[in-house]
Structures are given as structure tokens and as C-alpha cells.
Structure 1
């Protein structure tokens, strides 16, 4: 008994120590971030220019880094420190089993409730509005202070000395200030689209849920930069200096590079128009790759010292992009596919049994036979607990890419399909297990993420014996053929599930038909194995956060060492920190070369090490690379078609109620709950068309829905 008590006491002490460490790390990261944000607030002021900058420069402008050292220390290092510290924090959180306090917190529920529902920006919570207004205030503050400080130095005498009129001098100064403010927005632009970064998980976000922030920032960046360029052109034209547009100085700002960067940005911006993006996705997708040219010419336009302002976001994005490149080079093993009468297809991939992911995770899929360059995101529909050797996605036949994929799979002689994936990237903020009940509302193919939730609840209830929340699934479909999407609630690899074990109720609505019709049967395809295909595995192994921290820190330190030696022994003897002799373009290109080289070497080494470790464990039998149960159809699949009277489908039929020729009364169905669930927290998740998500958000924002916690799942806003 004493031994048991001692063991329990040690475990409790270790858990308490872990919580203390997590709390301390959160405090440090928040303090560093607030300090970094304060530097942005002070940057436009005279206090920073005349006092703070002079004080910092005195200690950082050395023979090793020059002016670049100041901006690296003040604006680049803090964010990279937070990124590395965040990786360590998330790793400790993962191994300890603690919940991410930066994610879904009950104390913040009131701030997370929808406030604006029908506006042009989509559904916005009070927290999103508050942070958006604060960021907008920063932009307005910076612009007003920059212009105020700039105009205070301009008068008739100074303008005449420069050979321009007063309004022209002010226009030139305003153009410069608009570019400086656009730089502030550009510093935040790449954070939302860095999929493997630790910054978003720290505050409970994913890159998919943050796409709208990237869109807002993109509009703001291009508006400011367009005004920046236009003001300069007007000022040059009015003063007879239009030849300035062809200027590429070796020392100083390169106007030509700035114009090329602006043109690249404008091409991307035009292609983001909703009509183009939705109807001509290929054009939008390919034009968006111009971000490479935008960043390249932006660097040559401003020089590396000024580029350090936006370096953290770009640096983390480059690390993420190279890791995605390494993972995408491997062809993955596609085990089977299910073709539904609704012209949807479920793809089932083999995965390493030790590789876990969360429900509602997102995976990016590339099929070279359809398009060698396009990558499309899909919500994972499987559960890593219920299907330890399988990962599944459901793809609805809608655009050109999905139509061609469905046509390829519909061919009767298809035996193998080459596929590459990136991810999966899991959500970190929505803990559906913490609710008394769940209300899942979907339209059409929006049911896909709910498939993974229900499969995970089956695993929690069946294998782990945990009490699961009651679930009410409300789904709307256009035709009876779409009802077969409900069959995907049962994985192809399981033939003995009893879905009625869950507290599950399904209400399906067929809106365009008034009576049931007999849909075509589901067709299952089993692909022949290819020895070159591998099971899906994490590119950085099970301890991915630790490896990511090592890559970011080691690559950046190596970069600083290389550029320091180059500056000290090659550039400094020529320039002596005057920045008037050595060309800006050459310095910028050398920095870019070292950044890319350091990231590529460290990331490749980490990926290669983990790949070898996986291979060793696979040989030792610790990880099953092949999904042996999938070599032939399951007992309940006969001739490629499901048996209607099978036990799993009978249990699914018992909990399903189908309504024809009507739409769900969402307000009544969401607010109508029994006494037990009415006392507890209810998670309401909407997935599907924007109109449906806005309608559900409006219901959850009403005063009578205080215990409804709304969550939206979508790649658009």
C-alpha cells in the first residue's frame, strides 16, 4: 500500500511540476510577444528614432552584422524565439496530456460567440472583432504618426531646396510612409498560412481556420503598397522625374525591383476576386505562386536590413514550405476507394499504425494524373484510433479537378493511382469531448468532418470505455443519392460496429425530392499494391514539435554565423559599415542564399533521420507499413456492393430519420433540447454552404442560446 501511495504521490508531483513549467513558459512567451508588439507601436515615433534606435544600434551595429543586426535582434529574434519556445511548449503539452489553455477555454466562451453574422466579412466573434480593431488601430496609429513626423520636417523652404512644390514634397513623403505601414501588415501576412508553425496552435488556431485573416491582411497589404507606388508615380510625373521608374541603384532603394514586386502582387490580388477564384480555380492557384517573385523583388527593393522587419513570418513559412516539399515527394499507398451514387468518392490510404491525428484534421492531396501541380485540401473522415492503419478522405465531384478524379476512378480497369499528400494538420482548439452534447449541422458534402467525429466517438466509447456526449446530426442533401454519404459513418475496415452504442440521432433532409428513390449501390475498388508507395507518416516523426524547434533554431543560428563571417571578412573591409560602397542587391542575394541553404540542410537532415528511424522500427515489427486486412473486401462487401441487411447498416438505419421535400427548421432543432442537455454546455458545429453557417451562427448568437458554443468548419469565409 505504501508503495502504491508513493507512486501516486510521485505522479501527482510530476503533473504539478509540468503544469508549473507550462504556466511559466506561457508567461515568458506572452511577455516576449508584448515586447515585440511594443516595438512596432513605437517604431513610427520620434522617441524610437532618436533615442531607442540609437541606444540599440550602439550595441548591435557591429563589424559582423551591421545595420542588419539591430533589426534582427529587435524584430526577427523575438518571433523566432516564440516559435521555438512554442514548439517546446506544445511538445510538453502533448506528452503530459494537458489541454491547450491557449485554445478553447470556457472563460472565453462569451468572447467566442458570434456577434456579426451577415456582414461582408462572414461570421465574426467578439474576440475576432476586438483583435481586428486593435490591429486596425495599430495601422492607423502608424500611418498618422509617420505622416505627422514626416510633414513636420517639410515646409516651403525645404521643398524649394529640393526643387519641388510643397504639395509634391508632401506627396513624396506620404508615398514613403504608406510603404512603411504596408510593411507592418506584411510582417503578419505569412503567419496564418504557415501550416506547421507553433504560433497558431499556441492561440488555438490552425492555418485553415486562419485563412480569412490572411485574406484580410492581403487586401490591406496590396491597398497600401498600391497607394505607395501610385503616389510615387504621380509625384515623379508632376516633377518631370518619370525616369525614376527605371532606376536601379546599386546603393539604396531599387525602384525597378519595387515595381516588379508590385506587379506580381497585383496579379495575385486580381485573381483573388471570388468569381475568378470559384469558377477558374486553376488560374487563381497558379497565379498565387507569384508570391515567390513578390518576395524576391521586395527583398531587392528594400534591401536585407529593412527586410528583417518581415523576416520572421517569411522564415517560418520557408521552413514549413520546405518540409511540405519533402513530404510531397513520396508517393503514398492508396488501398481502396468507395464510389458513391452521389458522385462522391472515399479514398482510403495506408498509414503507419503509430501515427495518430485528431478528428477534423485536414490533408492536402495531389494526384499527378489529374494535375501535377494542384494540391487540394480535404477534411480527414477517419479516426486514427478506430482505424489504426487507415486514413480516409471524402471528395465530392464538383470542380474540374474532382470531376477528372472521379472519371479516372470510374474506369473499370483502374488498378493503381499515384497520389501524394501533405499533412494531416490537426485542429487544436475544439475539444468536442468536453461537451454534454453535440449538435452537428451540415449541408451536402459538409458532412465530411462529422464522419471523423462520430468515428472517433465510436472508438472512445468502444475501445476506451469513455462516456461520450450525445450527438444530434442534422444533415441536408439535394437528392436521395446523397443519402449514401451517411454510409461513410461506418469505415470500410470495420464489419462489427454497433453504432447504436452511441447516443446518436441522425435527421436527414432531402430537399429536392418528395419520396424515396432507389439509389445505385456503392462500388468499392481495391488497388494493387506498389512497392514504391509508402504509408502516410509524419515527415518529422512522432516528436515533430521537438524536431521543428531544432530546425528553426539551428538553421537560424547557422545563418547568423555564416552571414557574420561573410560580413566581417568580406563586406566590412570594403564598406566599413557605411552602407555606401557594397551593393544592396549583392548583400540581399547572399543573405537569401544563406537562408535557403541553412533551412534546406537542417530540414533535410531532420527528415532523413526520422525516415531512417521509421524504417528501423518497421523492420523490428513495431510499425506495420501495410494494411493486411485490406487485401480483400470485407465480409459485408459482396461483389463490390454493400449488403443492405448487414448488422452495422441495420444499426445505422435505426438511428436515422429521413425527411423528404423539406428543409430543417434549424432554430427549433438547435434550441430544442431535453432538461439534461439544457443544463450543460452544447457544442454546435456547422459545416457546409456559407448561408447555412451564417444561419446557425445567428441562432447561436441569440440571448436565449447562452450555453451554445458555435464552431464553423470551412476553407472559406
Structure 2
């Protein structure tokens, strides 16, 4: 039973308090009063068991960890609550497109405000630090710098300080299972671009930091000496140089021209972030590392949980080969595993590649089929072509002993709430493979009980394809349209074939596409009782709290035991700086190990409880019947409107939707396709954010939502 609204309100208020406290710390950090008070607080903390290291962790890491833990709890209790209708609310205003055509895509009002506030904060931090340094220019003992050289050196140093602000939040958008941004309805695929924006700013600042400082060293003829010396105490310049090289390697290989053509190379080199973070710790020191540690900790914990989940493998239950060079895969899952529409799953096929992982949109609903999950994969690269060839070769073989195809997985990952439930009138616009996220949405609407949720009463699907044979991409929707669901009686579809002329057999081709045969796979004994399972949100909150507590206790204990004390205070000159970094690294490894062990034990107990005496292969055979099957032959009850050799004019299509609207509610417009399609729809929604229908007297808005199906 879902808890009362008072509990959810309390969680929101507490999360707001933690977020405000964390932001306030960062805003006050560059000020003189903060620096004076902070030095005093560290001296007082050194007289306690917590020590200065524990104080830094509590102040700069605990608010973020607490926010994440409360977000997981809130999402767990909120996911079964009914979504409110989106009428005249701030949500609609924040979703309004403001910048339609740009190098970074469509920018909404909410995104523009967030970017503006972040830039103001970065500018404030840099200005405060630089102005403070210029008022009190402290000469370097090892360098005889004049006044202008001191100023330039401080400019470079503070560029590195500001880069820490970017590094602090850079890893939050790419959290998968541990993502707390989903509480705002932000999907992982959409959040990746926030990571890209912040990463570009971060690496520009890091490069500026390194270039300016090396320029001054070059002026004083000490560049080689400074960059090759490993300092015993303080900043380690060599570690900074190595970290900068690792960061530039990641940056260059992340450029679209390299990432799209050589994805595997990009994927491998991106893992040099481990080198970068390690040498950042050695270069900046443990106190600066505590500032960014919350993001590093959550990201590492997320990777540990993903790694544990990915060790499990399943056998594909069945597959279907489509004429448009696509395959539909059916994977087994635990009946207790629930996921939201438009969720994604990461897939690896060891027989194709032991290292490549690729994300795909789920096309099924967990309420449509409790034991299986469906994926639709189109050939768009070497890996997907290899998968298509493998499935096709198995399909073409003669009947005999059924082969098995083993895959590994991560996920599913998706939004914490279904945004489409906020609208009575829904427009879905898809191009090519962009239809896949909407299949799960439509299946969700048709399969859920009417008493459970409030669903859109009117749905329009606009689907754009290049060739007539691409109509077979609609094959997974055959169960949805035959017979049509009562909840989809106001469902209309418009199909635009942009490159082919109209042919007499186009309608028959669509019918044939909905009758394609499936091939059922065998299951190996070691995999037959394993379905896709995933830890719940409450477990993520528990393991996050456990691991962070272990880290803090380990760090404080190591500091109290091994750091030499002089008159009750740590004597930092008695030991090298790397000792503190070693304490951080050791505590981090202990915390991650505890979280891994706890997760493995939890999964083992859950697996034992759920899978005892279950023989999945027998239940599959009884359900499937034979190795090949054909869907029941039938024709579409309602023919979609088909247009050939033309592209949709979205202003005309969406205007027709507005003319037929009689309710005083907003129209949700979800777009999944290429950037030009998104820009065209966003331009219309921007210009028609508020519409007054003179005939009916109703007032409504087109609320734009961009859906990504690829990274």
C-alpha cells in the first residue's frame, strides 16, 4: 500500500533542506568568513574522534548522500501513486522549448535556467577566489615571480579550483541504477547530454589550468624540473600532468566523429577516467578530493551494482527476424520485476563480443507479460549486424535440436514516473527506430487495469519511415492491435513513407509484417532458472547508506590509528601527503567491498527464494508449443492513414489535433527521432505554447517532451 502524501511531503522537504544546505556550502566556500570559520572548525575537529577528514566528508558529502538515499525512498513509495494531470503548472512551463536550433539540440526553459544558474555560480566562485588572491599576492618560495606572473599564476590555479565544481556534478547525470535525477523525470539517455556539457566545461578549465601554470614555469626555465618532480608534501605536479593527459584522451575520443565511427575504441578509452580520478586525488590532495567525492562515490557504487548484475546471464526465449533488417528478442524476467514505459536495458552477447554493451529500448510492458521482456533491435552497426546474422542463421537451419543463445544484461533503467499519465490527449511522433520506446508505452496503456491509473483518452501516433519494408518495425504491435484494446479505441496512426512511391500492396505488406514467424531457442541447464532480476529502490537506499557509513568509519579510524599526533593535533610534516590519499583509497575499497558482498548475499537469498524448484524450460515449451510459431492471421481493424513520398508537416498535423480538442487540458507531445524532427516539433510547441480555442472556449498548451533511444 502506498504511504500517505504526508510522508512524501516530508521526504521532499528534507531533500530540499539537504540540497539547499549543500548549495549554500559551495556558495559560501570562496568567502573570507567561510575560510576563517572553516580553519577554526578543522582545528576543533582535530581534537575529536571525527578529525578534520571526517568533518570534510560530513559537510561536503553527507548532504548529497542523504539526498540520494531519500530520493530512492521517495521514488519507491511514489511509483505506485496516481499521476496528477498536468494543466497550468510549472512543469509545463519548464518543458517549453526556448532554443530550438543549436549545436547541443533543443533547450527547454528548465534546462536554460539550470545552465544559467550553474554559470552564475561558477563565475561567482572564480571571481571570489581570484579577487581574494589579487588583494593578497603571496610569493612562491621556489619561484622568483614578479607581480604580473603571480597574477597569471593565480588565474591558472583558480581555473583548477573552479573545475572542481564541474567535477562535483559531472558524474551525477550518468548514474544508472543509483540515479536520483529520475525523481525529476530525467531519463538516463537524456541526462547523458548534461554530462557532456559539464565535461566539456570541466576539461576546458583543466586544460586552461595546466597551460597557464606550465607557461609560467616555462618563463622561469623550470618547466621540466617542476613537471617531473614528485613532491613529498603538497601538490604533486607530475600526478597533475598525468591526469591532464588522461582527461584529454577521454575528451578527444569522445568527439562525435570518433565516437560514432569507433564506438568500441571510445568505450575502452573512456575507462581511463579511473586513471584521471586517481591522479586527481594525488595532485589535488585529499581535502580537495572530499569536495568531489560524493559524485565519485555514487558513480563507483553504481558501477559495482551494475557489474554484479551483469555477471548473470539468460537464454533468449524466442526471436523474430523482420524484413527491415531488425530482430525482436524475447528475454525471461522475474515476475516481480517492474519497470516503467520507455525504459532501456543494456545487452551483451558473449558469442559476438565479450566486452561490448549496447542499450536498447524495451518494447513490452511488465503488465502485458510478467515472465518476459521484449527488445526490438535494428541493424545500424557492426555489432547489431552480427546479431541479426546470428539470429537469421539459426532461423534458416533445419529443425532439429534447438540451439541456445546466451546474453548478459544490465537494467532495466527508466523514469521513476510515467509522464504520459499526466495528459488526456497524447501525440507520439517517431522516426525509424524511434518507435521502440512508444511500443512499451502503448502496451502499458492497453494492458493495465482501468482502475489502476488514469490514461490518455485520445492518442495519435505519427510514424515516419524511409522505405515500405520498414513497416515491419510495427510487428511487435500486432498483439496490441488485434483485437484493439478498449483503452485504445481513440487511437489513430499516421504513417509517412518518405522515399517510396505508393504501391497497391502496401496495406497487404503491413498485414504480412504482423504475421511473421518466431523461432524459439533452447535453454542451457545452467541458465534455465535465471531471469532478469534487479534490486529495488529500497535496497539501493540501504546499500548506499551502508557503504557510506563504512567509508566514513574506516577513514576516521585509519586517521586516528596511524597519523602521528603532536599535542593532540596531526603533525602533517612528519609524513608524506600520499599517506592521507592512501587512507582515502583504502577506506573507499573497504566500503565498495562491503557493498559488493552485501549485494551478492542479497541477490543469492532472493534468487534462492524465487527460483526454488522452477523449471523455466518446461513452462516455456508448454506456452510456446513448438520451435516455430506464427501469429494468428488477421487484418487491421482500423487502417492507419498512409502517406507516400512525403514528410509530415508537423504544424498542419498538430494544428488538426488542437482543433479537435475540447478539454481545458494540455496536450503532451513526445518525440523520438532524428534532431531535425525534434527541432521541427519543438518549434511548433514553442510558438503554440498557449492556445485559446474560440469554438469551444478551451485553453491548452502543447507540452514538448524529447525521448532519446540511443546514446
TM-score when scaled to structure 1?
0.89
What is the CA deviation profile of residues 205-243 of structure 1, one whole-angstrom value per residue up to 9, with x for unaligned ones?
Answer: 232221111000000110000000111110101011111
Q: How much does 1:573 deviate?
A: 4.3
Aligned partner of 2:283 in structure 1 is 301
What is the CA deviation profile of residues 232-285 of structure 1, one whole-angstrom value per residue up to 9, with x for unaligned ones?
Answer: 110101011111001211221111111111111100100121111112212211
Aligned partner of 2:96 in structure 1 is 113
Aligned partner of 1:142 in structure 2 is 125
Aligned partner of 2:619 in structure 1 is 628
1:684–1:711 Cα contact (<8 Å) kept: yes
Q: Does 1:526 align with 2:520?
A: yes
Spell out the pairing of 1:501-512 with structure 2 (5 A cutoff). 502=488, 503-512=490-499
- For residues 290 and 467 of structure 1, the distance between their equivalents in structure 2, rounded to whole angstroms, comes to 45
Question: What runs of 5+ residues in structure 2 fail to find an aligned partner?
Answer: 692-699
User: 1:31–1:470: structure 2 CA closer, same or farther, 3 Å change rule?
Assistant: same
Among residues 18, 29, 32, which one is paired with 1:46 in the alignment? Answer: 32
Aligned partner of 2:234 in structure 1 is 252
2:281–2:581 Cα contact (<8 Å) kept: yes
Aligned partner of 1:345 in structure 2 is 327
Aligned partner of 1:6 in structure 2 is none
**When the two structures are aligned, how many residues end up with a matched partner?**
684
- For residues 357 and 324 of structure 1, the distance between their equivalents in structure 2, rounded to whole angstroms, comes to 17
Spell out the pairing of 1:215-230 with structure 2 (5 A cutoff). 215-230=196-211
Aligned partner of 2:641 in structure 1 is 657
What is the CA deviation profile of residues 630-655 of structure 1, one whole-angstrom value per residue up to 9, with x for unaligned ones?
Answer: 656579xx965556xx24x433xx24
- For residues 389 and 710 of structure 2, the distance between their equivalents in structure 1, rounded to whole angstroms, comes to 26
Aligned partner of 2:553 in structure 1 is 561
2:57–2:552 Cα contact (<8 Å) kept: no
Spell out the pairing of 1:264-663 with structure 2 (5 A cutoff). 264-411=246-393, 412-413=396-397, 415-460=403-448, 468-491=456-479, 497-499=483-485, 502=488, 503-516=490-503, 522-533=516-527, 534-540=529-535, 544-573=536-565, 576-619=569-612, 628-629=619-620, 633=624, 642=631, 646-647=633-634, 649-651=635-637, 654-663=638-647
RMSD: 2.8
What SS does the aligned partner of 2:157 have? helix
Q: How much does 1:581 deviate?
A: 2.3
2:333–2:533 Cα contact (<8 Å) kept: no
2:558–2:583 Cα contact (<8 Å) kept: no
Spell out the pairing of 1:147-186 with structure 2 (5 A cutoff). 147-154=130-137, 158=139, 163-186=144-167
What SS does the aligned partner of 2:573 have? coil
- For residues 19 and 41 of structure 2, the distance between their equivalents in structure 1, rounded to whole angstroms, comes to 18
Q: How much does 1:83 deviate?
A: 1.4
Aligned partner of 2:108 in structure 1 is 125
Q: Does 1:88 align with 2:58?
A: no
Among residues 20, 40, 50, which one is paired with 1:34 in the alignment? Answer: 20
What SS does the aligned partner of 1:227 have? helix
Greater Cα offset, 19-28 or 568-577: 568-577
Aligned partner of 1:667 in structure 2 is 651
Q: How much does 1:498 deviate?
A: 3.0
TM-score when scaled to structure 2?
0.90
User: 1:186–1:104: structure 2 CA closer, same or farther, 3 Å change rule?
Assistant: farther
- For residues 100 and 66 of structure 1, the distance between their equivalents in structure 2, rounded to whole angstroms, comes to 48
Q: How much does 1:460 deviate?
A: 2.6
What is the CA deviation profile of residues 549-606 of structure 1, one whole-angstrom value per residue up to 9, with x for unaligned ones?
Answer: 2211111212222222221121234895132222222331332132122222233323
1:381–1:394 Cα contact (<8 Å) kept: yes
2:464–2:496 Cα contact (<8 Å) kept: yes
- For residues 374 and 275 of structure 2, the distance between their equivalents in structure 1, rounded to whole angstroms, comes to 36
- For residues 677 and 395 of structure 1, the distance between their equivalents in structure 2, rounded to whole angstroms, comes to 39
What is the CA deviation profile of residues 383-413 of structure 1, one whole-angstrom value per residue up to 9, with x for unaligned ones?
Answer: 0001111101111101111111111212134
Question: What runs of 5+ residues in structure 1 fail to find an aligned partner?
Answer: 1-10
